[in-house]
Every structure is written in C-alpha cells, then in structure tokens.
Structure 1
Amino acid sequence: MIDPIAISALQHWSYCPRQAALIHLDDVWSDNPFTMRGNILHERVDQPGSDLRGDIRVERALPLFSRRLNLSGRADAVEFHQDGRIVPVEYKSGRRKARAADDLQLCAQALCLEEMFGCSVPEGAIFHAPDRRRRPVVFTAALRATVGRTVADIAAMLASRTLPPPVYDARCKDCSLLHLCLPELPARPADLFTPAPEAACASF
C-alpha cells in the first residue's frame, strides 16, 4: 500500500490533476499572491489547541486519518456540540469557487471524522475570509462518492508515478506552479517518472 494520501491532495486534484501530481508526487511547490494570502490566514487558525464557545468545544489543527480510504491530514477546526454533532470547519482565503474542490476536501475530512469517532457527520462549513461568513456544506451521497473516486484516481497516479499531461486553460493563470508546469508546451517524455537503475546509482 502507498503512504497515506494527504487530504489536501483532493482539493489539488479537483482543481487540476497535474497540479496535484507536481505537489504530491514530485514534491514541487511555489507561492504566488493567492497562496501567500492563504498562508497568512492559516497561520492564525492552524495553531493546535481547543477552546469553548458556549456549549461548543472547538479543536483546532486536529489530526485526521482514515484507514479505509488511506487518508491523513488535519482539520482547520472541528466543532464538538453538546448534542453530539461533529462539524468540521475549513478556512479559505478566497471566495466560493465554481468548482467543488473545497467541498470535496471538507467532505474527506468528514469521512475521516466518521471513522475516527464512529458517528455520522452529515455537514460542515467553509469560512470564506473575504465575506467573513460561513457557508454550510452538506455531505451528500454524491459528494461522498466523488471523494472515493478522487482518492482512487490519486492513488493510481501515485502508484504509477505518472505526471498527467498539461491542460492549458483559464485555471493556469491563478496557479502558483505555472512557471514549473509549463502547460503551454506539449507533454514531454520526462512527465513519466523513471527512477535511475540501482547499478547506475551505485556507480556515483
């Protein structure tokens, strides 16, 4: 079995499979104004700890895992309500996007929480910093199924060590990896990762 898949990989894959592969297969990362804005926001919310808000206990930077899905990561915040409800909350520095990448990431967190605590987690929330408002997200059967398919796709990519071909479209201008991905160029043989033979390595 491959190492646990980072929950954040689902958000990256939903946005662009090639971006996800560059980050989680090739360990490539670069910041731009959008990612830096997100980093600043998460510096404030990613400090581990807990506090009480009335009768709600809030755990921050809570480690998450799912053996069934082979996922690991952490939640920005998880609310534990007195009536037994568990509500994951994800913080985003931007407004709601047309794609469901953020919802997919949050649903993966919910599936981890269900496995960890043995209870149902039917919905969560995303806090969009520009609007300073929480947006509820219901974890429908369709969204849960999409999480499963996405995890399977990522696992296949990691197992094959194959970098998906570039797709040059409107997403690229906002991607911090644009200058590393070079999507305007055709797919190259180097996109298929082939480790050096052991004999060749031993000769150095």
Structure 2
Amino acid sequence: MIEKKYAEDEMLSLSGIQHFHFCKRQWALIHIERQWEENLQTTEGRFLHERVDNPFLKESRGDVVMSRAFPLVSDQLGLYGVADVVEYIRSENGISLPGYEGFWKMNPVEYKRGKPKIDERDEVQLCAQAMCLEEMFNVNINSADFYYNEIRRRIQLNISEELRALVISLSDEMHYLFKKGLTPPAEKSRNCKYCSLVDVCVPKLTKKSVSARSYVSKHFNDACTGDP
C-alpha cells in the first residue's frame, strides 16, 4: 500500500492547477486569499460546465458509457476535484463496470469554453484528472480528450511522462505556497488583460521593479497636476 503524501486537511482543488500554470499570483489570490471576480470568459465557462456536470446522468452509446461530474482525488498529488465526463470504452484491457458486461477502459473528457491554448494550462489540468483516476482505480491512462466549445470538436491529449512530471512539480509548489500562505508578486504580461482578477491583483502596483510607495506617489501627483 502506497503511503499518503498529503493528509486530508492538506488537499487542494485540482482545478487550481490550471490557474497556477496560467499565473501563480492569480492562483494564490483565489485559493489562498479567497478572492474572485467574474468576467465574460469565466461566466461562459461556468454556464458550459453547469450544462455538462450532472452527477445523476449516465449515458450509454453502444460501446461507450459516460458518467458526468465524476469525483476525483489523489493522495499523492494532494488534489481533489471533479471530472466533467469520464467515458468507459469497451476494451479487453479495461476494468469491470457494475451493471455492464465485459471490461472497460477509462477516458476523462474536459469541456472548455474557448479553443486550444498556446501553453499547457489546460493540459496539466486534464493530466491531473487522469493521474487521479489511475491512483483511484489502479489503471493506466495514456490519453484523454478535450472538447472545445468554440471550435466544436475534440482534441486528444497524450498523457506523456514529461506532462506527468510537470503536474507533480506544479502540485508540489502549490502545496508549498499554500502551507506558507505566500502570494507571489505580479509579473505583468499579455495574459493580464484576460484575467478576471486584474483589478484585484493590480499588476503595476505589485511589480517587483516598482515600489508601492512610488506608484501611489506618482498617481497622486498626476491627479494633482491634472496629468493623465
């Protein structure tokens, strides 16, 4: 039996690994400081998941059975969450499924409102889901699927060793920052304009090269002189 790496009260939200990869400060504001703001993107994403995440709905389509809002947990990653959909696909190398004959392999499916990203923020989230399922059911999952609402099609993700290592590294760092209660300073980038927390984060104020005192002083003087 594998020894637990994290205790129950140390578990973190699995969905946070996507925030963490996108921006560590954003993750800390949400998961450590408990701050959240909606924008168009987050609202659309929430509505999409509300349509998908029905834990009482199980569908069967031939050799595929779908279970929605599937609870996930990993003692080794210290993460818990919910998979939008877990598909059971008939396979000789799968596991037994109560109420169904034969054997079935597991395939997690994550629904996203937009389109594929240029970075790995979506990939680490789906990989973490697959790693949870592997730990929970003692199975091997080599691939998983995204469904991107904007392009209306699936994209398959290869669960590589490099991606698994990245998930482990990110989860370890998340736990370290959470335990210490540390919120990283802002690193202003092009991503800031897409962040619902930009007004809470104030990246210009927290940027390492600009002190808070200098920032406030400059804007106070600008206001007094009428400069924009």
TM-score scaled to structure 2, two decimals?
0.80
**RMSD between superposed Cα atoms in Å:** 1.3
Partners in 2 of 1:143 and 1:86 — Cα distance?
19
1:4 match: 11
Partners in 2 of 1:51 and 1:57 — Cα distance?
6
Higher-RCO chain (CA-CA 8 Å, sequence separation at least 6)? 1
Partners in 2 of 1:159 and 1:171 — Cα distance?
26
1:126 match: 146
1:150 match: 170
1:56 to 49, 60, 64: 64
Structure 2: any 5+ residue segments left out of the alignment? 1-6, 95-104, 213-228
**Structure 1, residues 67-118: CA drift from partner, whole Å, max 9, x if none?**
1111100100000111122110000000111111001000000000001111
Partners in 2 of 1:98 and 1:63 — Cα distance?
28
**Structure 1, residues 48-75: CA drift from partner, whole Å, max 9, x if none?**
1211111211110000001111110010
2:29 to 22, 30, 40: 22
Partners in 1 of 2:141 and 2:44 — Cα distance?
29
- Percent identity over the alignment is 39
Matches within 5 A, 1:159-174: 159-174=179-194
1:37 match: 44
| Larger Cα-atom Rg | 2
Cα deviation for residue 169 of structure 1 reads 1.0
One-letter amino acid of the counterpart of residue 69, structure 2: A
Partners in 1 of 2:14 and 2:182 — Cα distance?
20
TM-score scaled to structure 1, two decimals?
0.90
SS of 1:131 mapped into structure 2: coil
Structure 1: any 5+ residue segments left out of the alignment? 190-204
Partners in 1 of 2:111 and 2:199 — Cα distance?
27
1:198 match: none
One-letter amino acid of the counterpart of residue 62, structure 2: G
Partners in 1 of 2:206 and 2:60 — Cα distance?
53
Q: Are 2:112 and 1:92 aligned? A: yes
